[in-house]
Amino acid sequence: MFSKIAIFSHSYRILVILFWSAVLMLSGVVAPKALDNLVSGGFDVKNTESAKASQLLEEMGLTQSTIDIVFRSDGSDSNYSNFVDKIDKSTSRLSNIPQISKIQIPATVSNPSVSSDEQTVVVVLWIDGSLDETQRLVPEIRSSIIAQDGISAYVTGFAAVFYDIELASENDLKRGEAVSLPLVLLVLLFIFGAALAAFIPLLTGLVAIGATIGLIFLASLSMEMSVFSLNIATFLGLGASVDYSLLIVSRFREELGELDVKEAVTKTIETAGKSVFFSASTTSLGLAGLLLFDIVMLRSIAVGGIIVIVVSAGLALTLTPALLSIFGHRINRYRIPFSRRLIPNTFWANMSKFVMRRSLVIAVPVFLILLLAGMPFQRIQLGAPAADMLPETYESRMGMEIINEQFGPGWAHPIVIAVKANRGSIKSAESISALKEFTSKIGEDSRVESIYSIVDFDSSLSTQDYVNYYSQFELLPDNELKRQIKDLSSEDITYITVNTVFSGSDLEARNLVSDIRSYQPRGPSISAYSTGLTAGVMDSVDFLYERFPFAIALVVVAIYFALFVLFRSVLLPAKAVVMNALSIFASFGALVFIFQEGRLSAITGVEATGQIEATLPILLFFILFGISMDYEVFLLSRIKESYVEYGDNDKAVPEGLERTGPVITSAALIIILVGLGFATGDLLLIKIWAIGLVIGVTIDVTIVRSLMVPALMKLFGRWNWWAPTFLSDVRTGTKP
């Protein structure tokens, strides 16, 4: 198959180039529209208690979203009424936005939305529309606020935070490309020492990015796609696509010394091309693990990642050999003045021989070091994306920080409890009695700062008073209290707002949600379901990590069989899986150590985050697993070639490392540089993800490939290549 692909790409090279040019041009037409179709959230989990609560609130009629505007006075107005007048003037143009159904401005200082010093007020805008639709209104709302002397305004809330996350993600994408592209070009020039050879991998990377963005747009027409899929596509386009082409070009230049151009192209695709095919297969299988999680962000990253990997492999197997066929021996032209040999090839052979002579002495300590490096992962605290993912200069984060400072960390993230009457009205005597008993139990908890519901608006009323009040509710005159109660309830559903003294991501807040859920109303009359940031995080973590082991097992089995088909060995795929898992475990430990705990803040300048976003370990595992398998396939494929030729394991391993060591190091260096380019961005989620990849790839290429692989290959000897006779394809030669 691979020889046919090579011959086709060589014989019809102009047609292949025209085909990819047409793909790129078509993508260029639709790619600018891609961002408009992508969502910046996509972290929601279905079929959980918090999702059930949200569904009940929607049934109750609360289909609206909100945006908070924090107004902060500089203290020049001592009279609160003057402050409110300025807020009225500042928000006067907002009534012209048709989607805004209500502008809730606190009229008196006794309102919970007014700080104790009366210098901070939170105005709530009620928007007719979903969170995504509300998010799109954020720039219009910001531009409609009229500046007033003596006060500052900050548009914040979930919709504003997600809008700023999208903005930061877009800026990070541009910055990552701007930083990475020149670095990748310089590395390629250094590796090949010739401009034409360096040009081909960079070109394929750019084509991969362009084509993938166009395909992501097409995918977004039929399914929800996250804005983060673009970051992944760009990262892998610059990383994996350049790596695949780098392997092809390197092997072609090696074969060109003994063969003509057509034969060199054919031999290259039969060997390196086969490695690229299986590398792309294992990487795609790794990314496919993300499809097992019914979360838009993970699912869309899987789709975008698989698209870019498939496109990259297609480019490496068709466009790269087509260009090599055209350039031929001219591939080495336009040499640059500095040498490409930072480390001589003999270094890899000598090092592998050194390791193999001391295989057990090296393998055991390195194994223990990797385990020790991963130990901090046991202390991981998982959280949700929030305003603190953004830099301090972003408006939504500044607004949230003022709210936390003036109203307490729990004000912006209350626990919301949806309550449904299982029979009859929520205002029936039975339901009101059960509801009051439930809220009283919650209110007794010292961690609860305040509670508000249809049975808690007056602390002087007893349970019977509330029962009597609602027995004649429809007969009462219309007033502000009656309207508020109607806003808080429908015929059979109501909700309770619980404010705590903790931030929504604090462990104590999670413990409180667990306790509230354990309280559950007695009797069959009503059922309660908790939601809000804290409950949502808890449910998301439970959902994700219940499925994580199954997803890992499925992907590991699939990759094991893919590697078995390639190497026809029982042991080598198992060793590859274990070593990859070990390097990923070590990188997870480093992330907890650096970001969550901030242990190296004096050196790195990274402040402790206190938590790691819940989807990051899952995302990193499957991407790192796939990328690490690329290097395993590159290395073991070449070792197998030598083993088939010589029939000597001790000779095949050093030769395989000598041949592939420079290529794997160069490929890893490109991934590392692209990762560092993306790590310069503003968004903490992308920064942690990029640095996690850099750490994982660095550990993999320096410790696992250079030390553990030769040590274990020596320890296992001929068992490396064992398979049942009817499945084995290893036929060794006798070449000396």
State how far the Cα of 8 lies from the Cα of 5, in Å rounded to an integer: 5
**Residue 468, burial from CB neighbour count under 10 angstroms (0-12, 13-18, 19+):** middle
Taken in order 125, 130, 131, 132, the sign of the CA dihedral is negative
Please give the CATH superfamily to which domain 64-162 belongs: Multidrug efflux transporter AcrB pore domain like (3.30.70.1320)
Q: What is the structure's pLDDT at 736?
A: 41
Q: Find out whether 148 and 68 touch, Cβ atoms under 8 Å.
A: no
State residue 488's pLDDT score: 80
Domain covering 341-391+545-736, topology: Multidrug efflux transporter AcrB transmembrane fold (1.20.1640)
Evaluate whether 1-33+193-335 and 341-391+545-736 have a shared fold.
Answer: yes
Given this model, what pLDDT does residue 240 score? 83
**What does the alpha-carbon distance between residue 148 and residue 88 come to, in Å, rounded to a whole number?**
10
Q: What is the SS3 assignment for 39?
A: strand
At which residue do the structure tokens 């990259």 appear? 312
Distance CA 712, CA 502 (A): 50
d(CA 53, CA 48): 9
The topology under which CATH files domain 1-33+193-335 is Multidrug efflux transporter AcrB transmembrane fold (1.20.1640)
Report the chain (736 residues): mean pLDDT per 10 consecutive residues.
87 92 87 71 74 84 78 81 89 90 80 84 84 84 91 90 84 82 83 82 88 86 80 80 87 83 90 86 86 83 89 92 89 68 67 87 91 91 78 89 85 86 88 90 87 85 88 78 79 88 78 88 83 84 87 87 84 87 90 85 71 86 83 83 82 84 83 86 83 89 85 87 70 47
Cα separation, 523 vs 435, whole angstroms:
11
Q: Do residues 161 and 175 lie in contact, with contact meaning Cβ atoms separated by under 8 Å?
A: no
Collapsing DSSP to helix, strand or coil, 124 comes out as: strand
pTM as predicted: 0.80
* Sequence-ordered list of residues with C-beta below 8 angstroms from that of 640, at least 6 positions apart, any chain: 567, 652, 656, 721, 730
Exposure b/e, 654-665, CB count within 10 A at least 16 = b: bbbbbbbbbbbb
Nearest Cα to Cα of residue 320 among 627, 20, 4: 20
Q: Classify 45 in phi/psi space as left (phi over 0), alpha (psi -120 to 50) or beta.
A: beta
H helices present in 528-613, as ranges: 533-567, 571-591, 601-604
| C-beta of residue 273 within 8 angstroms of C-beta of residue 316 | yes
What are the angstrom distances between the C-alpha of 277 and each of 209, 244, 318, 480?
Answer: 19, 9, 12, 69
- Do 687 and 609 form a contact (C-beta atoms < 8 A)? no
CA atoms of 101 and 114, how far apart (whole Å): 22
Q: What is the largest CA-CA distance in the chain?
A: 102
Q: How far apart, in whole angstroms, are the C-alpha atoms of residue 513 and residue 492?
A: 23
- Type of residue at 483: R
Q: Are the CB atoms for 3 and 309 separated by under 8 Å? A: no
Find, among 603, 666, 596, the residue nearest to 630 by Cα.
666
Q: What DSSP designation does 147 have?
A: P
How far apart are the C-alpha atoms of 484 and 128, rounded to whole Å? 18
CA dist 649 and 128 (Å) reads 69
Q: Rounded CA gap, 560 and 77, in Å?
A: 70
CB 571 within 8 A of CB 560: no
Distances (CA, A) of 98 to 94, 157, 466: 9, 20, 38
Angle value at C-alpha 10, between 315 and 212, nearest 5 degrees:
15
Could you say which architecture CATH assigns to the domain 414-531? 2-Layer Sandwich (3.30)
Q: Would you give the distance in Å from CA 161 to the centre of its chain?
A: 17
Asked if 322 contacts 643 with a C-beta cutoff of 8 angstroms, the reply is: no
> What are the helix (H) ranges across 385-532?
395-407, 429-443, 463-471, 480-488, 507-519
CA atoms of 418 and 496, how far apart (whole Å):
7
**Sequence ranges of the domains in the chain:** 1-33+193-335, 64-162, 341-391+545-736, 414-531
Beta pairing partners, 420:
493, 527
Q: Name which of 36, 30, 31, 39 is nearest 227 in CA terms.
A: 39
The pairing of strands 612-613 and 382-383 is parallel
Helices (H), 289-394: 296-314, 320-327, 345-357, 359-374
The CA–CA distances, whole Å, from 332 to 99, 192, 254, 328, 664 equal 62, 8, 11, 9, 21
